[in-house]
Amino acid sequence: MFSDKVIINVKSGKGGNGAISFRRERFVPKGGPDGGDGGKGGDVFIHADLHTKTLIQLYRNPHCMAGDGENGRGQKKNGKDGKDLWISVPLGTIVEDVEKQEILADLSKPGDKICVARGGEGGKGNYRFRGSKRQTPRFAQKGEQVEEIKLRLNLKLIADVGLVGFPNAGKSTLLSRVSAARPKIADYPFTTIEPYLGVVQVDEENSFVIADIPGLIEGAHRGVGMGTRFLKHIERTKVLVHLIDGFQINPDNMFRNYQIIENELVQYARFLEKKEKILVINKCDLPEVRKKMDWIKKLFLDKNIDIMFISAVSGEGIKELIYKLHQLIFIADEKEDEKLTTTPQKQLPSFRYEADFVIKKEGNVFFIEGQKIIKMVNQYDLNNPQALEYFQKMLKSLGVEKALKKKGISEGDRVKIGNKDFYFYS
């Protein structure tokens, strides 16, 4: 089964909690704090893998979770870090954040990778909070919570050459003739219901990848037939081969059939019009087709359309077609290189300052927002008097108390940080 689009839920690992522990040994009646730190939660990575050809495994298992970090222990023993999760996807996979409708990465080369969810940091054990004024800290940090994100993975096959045309034009037969691919071949519409890839060997040193795109029909760009599901797979190709069944054509429908497919390509994506193309007439081994060759050739050459005749069954013209495609790929590569050299370099991103917190007032309630502040309030057990005192000192050192007074806060006013409520007393 071929799968080229899937939605998955990704969750990173939770950070381990720091330990609250004190040294307990014989002849050491007043041992100091020795609670270790919690381990870091595992990250979630998505990477492009040459050996992965489909997204079917993720379709069957859409929930992906990294390992949690272990809690810290006594004797200053830190918890073990959670195991990272690596998700393998085929080359050409686009990673999109479903909620933000934002493309995060286009994994088009072997080894391309992206971290889509960072594991939570481990909490500090009470050993880290010891000091001359706090010799017996009876609190520790909690591990950071997980990151959770819903992703859409959209696969667009990477091939040098794409075969397009009406159903039963002979695309699958041609692919099986020029490569080792074995697509399904039969005499009924939409025999091919998924794209197939094959490697074509030009000579000892050169080869290219060719893709059989399932048959298009009129209205494909609007979703008629199988159109929009597979049209996307020709976006990355360098050369398009428009294959026509020579046995089915006559003077009345010849050019119209050609224009239908070309129009569907342009309606789907305007840039496809600029790709290197060649028109190939199949089944030239049949006497009926041989009789038409002269007027077919004249019809298209008069319109400056490059045309070749082949027989996917007998092999006639196949070798010439392979060399022609290799030349067109070379031309497409040169154009791409020229385009890259003439494209101006992007400006380097400038530094953008972000405050540690922002205070907003709604009625008599003061809301404190900011990633750093929210992280702090979730890391401590504020029912613990020592932890609460330490948290208040941290807020004061960040300038939160001073900023609240500038906003006009009064004694007893309510302050909200994340999902925690406080009352202000200086």
Q: Give me the residue spans of the domains in the chain.
A: 5-155, 161-342, 358-423
Query: What architecture is domain 358-423?
Result: 2-Layer Sandwich (3.30)
CATH superfamily of 161-342: P-loop containing nucleotide triphosphate hydrolases (3.40.50.300)
Distance CA 405, CA 388 (A): 20
Burial of residue 153 (number of CB atoms within 10 Å: 0-12, 13-18, 19+):
buried
pLDDT band at residue 191 under the 50/70/90 scheme: very low
Tens-place pLDDT, residues 201-218:
888 888 888 888 775 644
Q: How far apart are CA 380 and CA 392, in angstroms?
A: 11
pLDDT at 347: 58
Question: Token digits for 9?
Answer: 């839920």
pLDDT in tens, 34-75: 999 999 999 999 999 888 878 888 988 999 999 999 999 999
Q: What is the pLDDT of residues 277-306, one digit of tens each?
A: 899 998 898 988 888 888 888 888 888 888
Single-letter amino acid, residue 68: D
**Answer CATH for 5-155 from 2.70.210.12, 2.40.30.160, 3.10.180.10, 2.160.10.10:** 2.70.210.12
Residue 53 CA to residue 158 CA, distance in Å, equals 11
Q: Residues 378-400: what's their mean pLDDT?
A: 90
Ranges 196-200, 319-323, 384-388: which has the least confidence: 196-200
Give pLDDT tens digits for 223-252. 444 445 556 677 778 899 988 888 877 766
